[in-house]
Amino acid sequence: MKRLCETCEHFSPAHTCIEKPTWGHCMRLVTGRSGRAAGKGSPIFTWADSVCADFRARTLASAQRQS
């Protein structure tokens, strides 16, 4: 399996009329971004085919919850 955002547990796909989402949000809650208070997290925009070091494969149970 490719380690793409769309297959990651942290990825929340965008709900559009396109058959397969091409973008969404990483719900890993990144902290320390500019304009944000320290300690508070914020989801970030990402493309579905992006990759990152925090990839965590989606389990069958979490994939069913996203559907």
Number of domains comprising the chain: 1
**Higher pLDDT pick, 55 / 29:** 55
Mean pLDDT of 11-22: 81
* pLDDT tens sequence across 29-52: 766 555 555 556 688 999 999 999
Domain that holds residue 11: 5-66
In terms of Cβ atoms closer than 10 Å to its own Cβ (0-12, 13-18, 19+), residue 15 is exposed
* CA dist 11 → 1, 38, 41 (Å): 15, 23, 15
**Higher pLDDT pick, 24 / 65:** 24
